[in-house]
Structure 1
């Protein structure tokens, strides 16, 4: 592996003293904002991690795992964590949750800072529910920290990194065919941004099904949170001259929440006035009035499989360290899996 960048490397590339670099990276207040920004950019480009992290990593007991989420308001993550905890609890490893898209809003700066913190805190491994940058995946690999992606695809450059994804195109086509059986001709898909890698295949499947059924698909993009969904759905429905759709398809739990709140406030009945379906099952979906039709990915089972794969990799690293070998994460071809999703039919679609 190439030599890891040092404080001196950052100093030389930034054109400032080692002392200034140390103060800037340590949060010292006596460094000009422009200088601090330049140093941070150089450190990030070089993949530099402060020496204290390197010192601590030598004592790494590989006892904690981090789950990176993208807005913890999504119930999908609750079931995912159940599965992760079920596997890790007997191993005595702890689980830490880090939200890199709080309230549904993502920034690259937060991702970069979080990855740096994971390295400095000596996390043993990462389960990522959001596609990370290729640079950050490589940085974690440089520090021998394995990553397993769930419900999201790894960056294209990370050809060996494990991933547990769902065939969202097929799942969406199946949902769309069911909507066609109801003879719905106007569908509204309330969708989160394409930053989340599941967005495009879900939209693709719905488009294919709508085209086959002779239906019209409208796509309404919103931030990945309940408040934004409410505002966007309100604006869409209340645009003068717009005809309401036959069915609304909510992209996930937060968007479903915002959509339902608007429909409820306006007295729009489900399914008498508009049918409603959604992606991602959650415990109270069958308790709603009417019970909700959903596409179910089985996130708890995904959590079990992700934690099982990650535990195997970490255990192999521990053995390698014990035997004096480099603890490089060892990935297997079977660590990349694509599962199918279930369509759970309830009354909200009109059945």
Structure 2
């Protein structure tokens, strides 16, 4: 038996029994550096070699050591993605698309939740940047001065999502929240609504940008009334949407349309209207924002603004991958637009 070759998985160099990069290189018949490049998804490696390396790694059960990779390259293969909430389907869709694209390119995702608190985002940035991530994806542009300095001083490629800004050296993927807010308000005006309220919760920067668009549309039409803005700092929910509906009609019974800053609130308002016997859209038009799951199934179907959150996640990841590889990004500010959907609630 001494002359027989032991099983491949038994040929391990570490006392832990884990397969090493050298093991994969020997099994694939290539150099260790080729294995490393193939598993990182570098374009310099041919598809045939990538397939051979991946097959060898799978047979050996090889798992890359992120700590060793970070020591070898002075930067890890991890990407930090900072989003406001995981309970919001908007950001779940964005994160899912970004993570899929990053994983396919050989990067792992570190998820940080800021809870819309700039101080929490700053703390997360301090923690993640200590580990030298390969890249960053952050939400919007509203952050502390120190957080901006941390990002700029780190030298780590960064892409902003959900908003765009024309600034040299800044990369972003999103759309104009203000333009989208204005477009929905103009659509309500075109439907003959003259007393349009804006009802909002959470009051994050993107909500305030939508309210700005609402304001501009009504000012241009000579219909703006500041008392018809109902701004609640509480977290958005279906229940709060119903409460806001009742508040608007109690304090401004002449209102003939309510533009809610998101679909959670608008869906709650539709349910409350059904319970209270308020006819939608005959007595009152109701509109939302984001076109979340369930909006089209409401009674009546909810009019809303469809936002390309999955596309934003995928495009932001693609842009970041180019930056991490040192490749040129042709369009540093990518505006993916939005779509106003007028359904039965208007």
Instruction: Output the TM-score relative to the length of structure 2.
Output: 0.68
Work out the CA distance in 2 between the residues paired with 1:97 and 1:267.
44
Q: Deviations over 1:103-154 (max 9, x none)?
A: xxx4343222211221234432221124322321321332332221111357
CA distance in 2, matches of 1:228, 1:346: 22
Structure 2 residue matching 1:67: 3-state secondary structure: strand
Q: Which runs of 4+ in 1 moved over 6 A?
A: none
SS where residue 126 of structure 1 aligns? strand
1:264-308 deviation digits (Å, cap 9, x = unpaired): 553434323321111112232222221111112211111111001
Indicate the residue corresponding to 1:36 in structure 2.
Answer: none
Quick check: which has more Rg, 1 or 2?
2
2:207 corresponds to which of 199, 203, 228 = 199
Counterpart check, 1:208 vs 2:193: no
Provide the secondary structure at the position in 2 that maps to 1:249.
strand
Q: Match for 1:147 among 158, 171, 175? A: 158
Gaps of 5+ in 2: 1-67
- Looking at both structures, which has the greater relative contact order when contacts are Cα pairs under 8 Å and sequence separation is at least 6? 1
RMSD: 3.1
* 1:347 alignment partner, SS class: coil
* Alpha-carbon distance change, 167 to 74 in structure 1, aligned in 2, over 3 angstroms: same
- Counterpart of 1:179 in structure 2 is 188
Whether the aligned pair in 2 keeps the contact of 1:168 and 1:201 (CA below 8 Å) is yes
Aligned residues: 274
Structure 2 contact 185–218 (Cα < 8 Å) conserved: yes
TM-score, normalised by the number of residues in structure 1: 0.67
Q: Distance in 1 between matches of 2:145 and 2:168?
A: 11
Q: Quote the offset at 1:77 in angstroms.
A: 1.3
Distance in 2, matches of 1:229 and 1:342, equals: 23
Do residues 290 (structure 1) and 300 (structure 2) align? yes
Tell me what 1:225 maps to.
236
2:51 maps to what in 1? none
Q: Could you say if the C-alpha distance between residues 94 and 246 of structure 1 is closer, same or farther in structure 2, counting changes exceeding 3 Å?
A: same
